[in-house]
Structures are given as structure tokens and as C-alpha cells.
Amino acid sequence: MIAKSKCLTYAQIAEKSGVKESTIKAFMCGTTDSRRVAENIADVLGVEIVYSNGKYKINSNKTEKEGEPMTNNIELRGCDSAMTRQVIVTKALKGSGKENDPYREVTQYWSLTGKLLFELTDDDGQ
């Protein structure tokens, strides 16, 4: 992703890092996890990498804004992973329309294979 934002091809990264283009491709595709390759790529891209939980992560060195101090009872975990997934979103009325089961709008999120992932109703604060 960073390589794309800096408009670098595998060939350009290979040339600047002194690592073969095929090795760069293998690393980017996850078929090799050589620390030397990771460090060479990071040098070319101008980022710092950290090896954590069996994966390489990019340390972006962004400056943090000052704010209110956090209390000691908060566990600082961060986000383990994030990704974009394509889903199907449906909206429909649910309920029988009776007093004990009124109609309500339900939004359902489905995988592309037809598995219901979760649903939200007005009761959920939608």
C-alpha cells in the first residue's frame, strides 16, 4: 500500500534496495518473511518496520497530539487488524405487527456466500 502511494514498482524497489524483484514480489505476497528483505523494503519506502506476533507492521512515526491524560485502568491495545470486506446489505420489516411484536425495520449484513453476518434493528440504536 505504501509502495503504491509512493508510485514505486517492484522493479524500482528492487533496484533501490539491491534485492531481486522476484524476492520483493514473494515478500509482498507473503510467501517469504525474510527480515533482511523487510528491512531493505522499509529503507526504500522510508518507513520503520516492527516484527510483532509473527507479522511485519509499519511504524508510521506520526506525531501524536497532546490531550487529556488517560487513567491507569484503561488497557491500551490498539487495533489488531482492519480490512474492507464486501457485503450485501438488506433492509426489511420484521415482526407480526401486534402489540407484543410490532413491525420494525431490520438491516441485515450478509456475506457474498449467503451467510448472515449480523443484523441491526431500531432497538439497537440504529
Model confidence pLDDT, tens digit, residues 41-90: 777 777 777 766 666 666 655 444 555 665 555 565 666 667 777 888 89
What average pLDDT does range 104-117 have in this prediction?
87
Shared-domain flag, residues 53 and 7: yes
Shared-domain flag, residues 92 and 55: no
Q: Which residues are CB-contacts of 31 (< 8 A; sequence separation ≥ 6)? A: none
The domain total for the chain is 2
Residue 65 lies in a domain: no
Structural domain boundaries, residue 112: 88-124
Residue 76 lies in a domain: no
Q: Which residues are CB-contacts of 109 (< 8 A; sequence separation ≥ 6)? A: 87, 88, 89, 116, 117, 118, 119
Residue 83 lies in a domain: no
Q: Please, where are the H alpha helices in the chain? A: 2-5, 10-17, 21-28, 35-45
- Between helix 35-45 and helix 10-17 the angle, nearest 10°, is 100
CA-nearest of 71, 117, 65 to 90 is 117
Q: Is the pTM of this model over 0.75?
A: no
